[in-house]
Structure 1
Amino acid sequence: MIPALNIDAALDALTDHWSPKVIARVNDQYVKVAKLTGEFVWHRHDDEDELFQVIRGRLRIQFEDGGETLLSPGELCVIPRGVMHNPVADEECCILLIETVTTKHTGDVETPRTRSITQQLA
């Protein structure tokens, strides 16, 4: 039997903000959950696209051209590779991410919030 995964339970188990946890793997993609609050860090992923889906709350994704995308529960946004972006959660927000297994957490920058894939798998 292949067990079902409960996204709400996975999110409820999270204690740290901006620290995604891998809950599944589909081919060469990780499915991750994360809790966010405040502003993250401007970054980009030169070789991978990144999918953000909001489960609870709202998420703003800022872009270097001054634009932004606002996501509400049930909405998703795919950030194309190479696009500089900065996720911002004015209040706590819960998301699901789909990223290639090679995607670095903070892309082209290293910050105290950066989490290795080993940390995300724990």
Structure 2
Amino acid sequence: MSDDVRNLKTALSAISEHWQPHRLTSVNDYDVKVVKLQGEFVWHTHPDTDELFLVVQGELTIQLRDRDVVLGPNDVFVVPKGVEHCPKADQEVHAILFEPQGTVNTGDAGGDRTSELRELD
């Protein structure tokens, strides 16, 4: 990863597709990803890692099997490893994800929503 300064607003404005995370930068063995979310994703788990969500803009609901967690701007929530979850957003959400390099967006669910991590230009 480059040692250039990255601007969060510029990075998010470059993303046109929902549910397609882009690497903003890396810290040790972790990726800091930016993503736009809208609609409902897939139920999945990450068996070996926690997943951090930081909402920049909008309202994101993290559905868990026993409750819903609602995040607004500047809210942070960590989904513990192995916990099944399904993010959803009625309106477009801009978010930051922090997770180990190589973490797949659909976790153990796979399917057509699985995305290769994209690099920002």
Classify the TM-score, shorter chain.
over 0.9
Output one character per residue of 1:66-88: Cα deviation in whole Å (capped at 9) or x when no partner.
Answer: x0110000011011100000000
Look up the match of 2:8.
Answer: 7
Matched, 1:77 2:77: yes
Identity %, equivalent residues: 44
The aligned length equals 118
TM-score (norm 1): 0.92
TM-score (norm 2): 0.93
Instruction: Give the alignment's Cα RMSD to 1 decimal.
Output: 1.1
Q: Give the alignment of 1:31-42 within 5 angstroms.
A: 31-42=32-43
Output one character per residue of 1:2-44: Cα deviation in whole Å (capped at 9) or x when no partner.
Answer: 5321111100000100000001000000000000100000000
Matched, 1:107 2:73: no
Q: Which runs of 5+ in 2 are unaligned?
A: none
Structure 1 or 2: larger helix share?
1
Q: Give the alignment of 1:53-64 within 5 angstroms.
A: 53-64=54-65
Look up the match of 1:121.
Answer: 119
Runs of 4+ in 1 over 4 A off after TM superposition: none
Look up the match of 2:22.
Answer: 21
Q: Which runs of 5+ in 1 are unaligned?
A: none
**Aligned mates of 2:111, 2:91 — CA distance in 1:** 22
